[in-house]
Amino acid sequence: MQECLWTKMNMARINDITPEEWNSLENKKSKATDIQIGGDHYAKQSIQPAEIIQKLKLSWCKSNAIKYILRAGNKGPSSEDLKKAIHYLELELQIEKEK
């Protein structure tokens, strides 16, 4: 597989960086929860759904329900996100019932 030009250019720069420059970059690195890729429907909130999900150690279905509830109305029609949240809660109930 051929290496892309971007990778070659950045590898050359990485090979030239000093330890001091590297440490400086590490200290300036933002947290993943400070960034949102593909819109701002979560960034508008004071806490990211991922932070809630991680702290509460929620299941996959509950996690998705929380995500859709929190973004309802911020990315498309609120009703669509609420329907998705309900669907994930129904899946969670089904899983619990089948245990």
Residues 6 or more apart from 78 whose CB is under 8 A from it?
Answer: 72
In terms of pLDDT, which residue wins out, 35 or 90?
A: 90
Check pLDDT > 70 for residue 10.
Answer: no
Separation of alpha carbons 35 and 27, rounded Å: 16
Coil, helix or strand at residue 34 = helix
pLDDT band at 9 (very low <50, low <70, confident <90, very high): very low
Q: Could you report the per-residue pLDDT of 45-87, keeping only the tens digit for each?
A: 677 788 888 899 999 999 999 999 988 888 888 999 999 999 9
C-alpha dihedral sign at 15, 17, 19, 24:
negative
> What's at 42, amino acid-wise?
Y
pLDDT at 95: 95
Separation of alpha carbons 31 and 51, rounded Å: 11
Helix (H) or strand (E) holding 89: helix 78-98
